[in-house]
A = this chain, B = another copy of it.
Amino acid sequence: MVESVVTRRGLLQAGGGVAAASLVAAAGPATTLVQGGGGARLAGQPLPDGAKLPATPPARRAADSVGFAIVGLGGYALNQMMPRFPQAKRAHVAAIVSGNPEKLRQVGDAYGVPADARHSYETFDRIAADKRIEAVYVVLPTGLHAEWVIRAFAAGKHVLCEKPMALSSADCERMIAAGKRAGRKLMIAYRSHFEPYNVEAMRLMRQKAVGTIRLLRTEQSYRMGPTRPSENWRTSRALAGGGPLEDYGIYGLQSALYLTGEMPESISATTFRPAGDPRFAEILAHVSSQWRFPSGAVAQLVTSYDSAGINFAEVRGTEGVLKMDPATSYSGQKMWTEGRDARAFSPGDPEVQFAGQLDHFTDAIRTGSPIRTPGEMGLRDLRLMEAIYASAERGQTVRLAPDGRMRG
């Protein structure tokens, strides 16, 4: 599971799984780590295209604001999450961690991060002594999550970790154990749990707005432009795992669980990788699965990096249909029911999901309230992904225990 990819430009050093941290460490201070979150970003391009840096450093909103160290300054961190910190009730960027000194300078200046709170991956562990930092937000490529989450716990910080939690359930278990040892909180950044349309959809399903659920369909697909593993971490097996399922299909996997309120009892899956396509030299192009729930309901999930773009969820019940299209985007959600009680829903601005998950996490830190999307949820989802891959590899239906572990 560990590989080192050195491109002709000599810029990319990638590690996956257990030994990611040691790989990064071994690479030495001259090595620049490619950042995660927003697609292929080579070091040397200081900021991803369209990065939104604040014109003036945002002020802290609350006296009890939680200081975060942002680990990984990729497109998602820079363009989506960091600009939303000022919208959260008590969260602020207290430190940044990047392998790119120019990025540290520009982003640090823009967010008013003190010079001694701008870290490389080599100086990361110094945050342990920095009381300005209470939490670490890990926004690295997935294959690096386990190591940096565990290092953050070792530094005594609470951790918000991007999804998927890791590339294996074994890593998830190590991460959960590290959090317990440290006595710190672990939350997986499943933003849809804080997005008004998806929250309303969960409520509608609990209320049986479509009757008894019989079928759930989800698809998260787009067609990836020409690229190769050395150019885009999302196509590197060591960093991204199987590919579209971890990165995009996980939204459908999550929807299938939180809309039905059930765990599947069996899964059959099939995957596809077109031969000779550099995009899919290491990862899969498609992952399709069919789940059976104890109630008899079925979920059919698809995710692809090589198909017409879509992000939708549909629940079909005895009395009607709920559709979400787009279902789990950053903004622009649409949701409606068909059948007996046909109507459209506008439960709120989807963009509150970003600040919403920060508020939920900082509430948990300040008040001890339970975390809705804990490490155990990330672990559960990795087990399901492992079951999907196992089914596809074996060409067999896989049976699952209620906790998502494969039976036999």
Interface residues of A (CB under 8 A from B): 210-211, 214-215, 217, 219, 221, 223, 266, 268, 270, 272-274, 285-286, 288-290, 292, 296-298, 300, 302, 304, 306-308, 310, 316-321, 338-339, 391, 395-397, 399
Contacts and interface: CB of A to CB of B under 8 A. Distances in A.
B318 A298 contact: no
Contacts of A300: 217, 288, 290, 300, 302
Contacts of A304: 214-215, 316
A35 to B, nearest CB: 29
Contact of A272 (B285, B296, B319, B397): B296
Contacts of A319: 308
Contact of A397 (B217, B285, B397): B397
A53 B180 CA distance: 78
Contact of A308 (B210, B223, B272, B302): B210
A297 B286 CA distance: 9
A339 B298 contact: no
B339 A308 contact: yes
Contacts of A308: 210-211, 316-321, 338-339
Contact of A307 (B266, B307, B318): B318
A112 B270 CA distance: 56
A57 to B, nearest CB: 43
A310 B292 CA distance: 21
Interface centre among A310, A338, A397 (most CB of B within 10 A): A397
Copies, count: 2
A162 B306 CA distance: 39
A292 B295 CA distance: 26
Contact of A395 (B266, B306, B307): B266
A272 B339 CA distance: 22
A116 to B, nearest CB: 50
16 contacts: A211-B308, A214-B304, A214-B307, A215-B286, A215-B304, A217-B217, A266-B270, A268-B268, A268-B397, A300-B302, A307-B316, A307-B317, A308-B318, A308-B320, A308-B321, A397-B397
Nearest to A291: B270
A399 B391 CA distance: 14
Given A288-B298, A310-B321, 7 more contacts: A272-B297, A289-B290, A300-B302, A304-B316, A308-B319, A308-B338, A395-B397
Which 3 A-B residue pairs are closest in the complex by CB-CB distance? A268-B268, A272-B296, A290-B290
Given A290-B288, A298-B270, A214 B316 contact: no
A32 to B, nearest CB: 34
Interface centre among A217, A300, A391 (most CB of B within 10 A): A300
Contacts of A219: 215, 316
A300 B308 CA distance: 17
Contacts of A307: 214-215, 316-318
Nearest to A267: B268
A256 to B, nearest CB: 13
A310 B302 contact: no
A265 B302 CA distance: 19
A296 B290 contact: no
A399 B394 CA distance: 12
A265 to B, nearest CB: 10
